Each structure stands twice: as structure tokens, then as C-alpha cells.
């Protein structure tokens, strides 16, 4: 389930809003997207996969909210780990159709 949009890393590109198949996020003017409907998250990892700055964390537990600490996630290298695990780097991520 989506647990974090990092305010320190997010560049407000709203790609996560666009790729989410269940409309979990809301756009927010001059701020990172809000996790507005967390219970709708299907844990598909699309938002985390497409985030160009590794600002999102999706926990593999799809059924319950998990409390996370952003500093710990950053220090552990977890942010962006899903993208790396499937062979996408920031340079290799496919472009979104517009």
C-alpha cells in the first residue's frame, strides 16, 4: 500500500497521479500530491516505478497501513528500490504516452 510521498524529494510532476489506476492521489497546488484514498491502493507499484526522483514508497503489505519514517527509508536505500530491482534506472524508464 502507498505509504509515503516524500516532500523533500517530490518535484510535483504529478506522474504518480497520472499512472495510478485507482485514483489514490489528489493533485495539490504548489505541493506534492496528497495520498487521498490510501485504501484504494492495489499495491501495483506503478507510482513508485514511474517516479523520476524516487519520492514514493509503496509497502508490499496491501492490506494494512504501515507507519514509515522517511529518514529511515532514505538512509536504507529503499526509495527507488523497486525500479532498480526490475532493471529500470532513471535513464531507462519508459516515457508516458501523452
* Gap between the Cα atoms of 74 and 70, Å rounded: 6
Where are the chain's structural domains?
A: 2-85
Grid look-up 532513471 returns 90
For 87-94, the CB contacts below 8 A with 24+ separation are: 88/49, 90/52, 93/49, 93/50, 93/52
pLDDT means over runs of 10, the chain (98 residues): 95 97 97 96 95 93 81 89 84 58
pLDDT of residue 20: 98
What integer pLDDT is reported at residue 91 of this predicted model? Answer: 60
- CATH architecture observed for domain 2-85: 2-Layer Sandwich (3.30)
For residue 63, the model assigns a pLDDT of: 78
The pLDDT value recorded for residue 19 is: 97
Residue 69: other Cβ atoms inside 10 A? 10
Rounded distance, CA 32 to CA 82, Å? 21
Which pTM value belongs to this model? 0.83
At residue 90, the pLDDT reads 64
Amino acid at each position: 500500500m502507498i505509504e509515503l510521498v516524500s516532500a523533500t524529494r517530490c518535484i510535483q510532476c504529478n506522474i504518480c497521479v497520472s499512472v495510478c489506476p485507482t485514483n489514490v492521489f489528489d493533485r495539490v497546488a504548489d505541493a506534492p500530491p496528497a495520498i487521498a484514498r490510501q485504501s484504494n491502493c492495489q499495491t501495483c507499484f506503478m507510482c513508485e516505478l514511474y517516479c523520476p526522483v524516487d519520492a514514493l514508497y509503496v509497502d508490499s503489505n496491501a492490506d494494512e497501513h504501515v507507519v514509515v519514517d522517511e529518514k529511515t527509508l532514505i538512509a536504507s536505500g529503499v526509495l527507488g528500490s523497486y525500479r532498480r530491482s526490475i532493471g529500470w534506472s532513471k535513464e531507462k524508464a519508459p516515457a508516458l504516452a501523452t
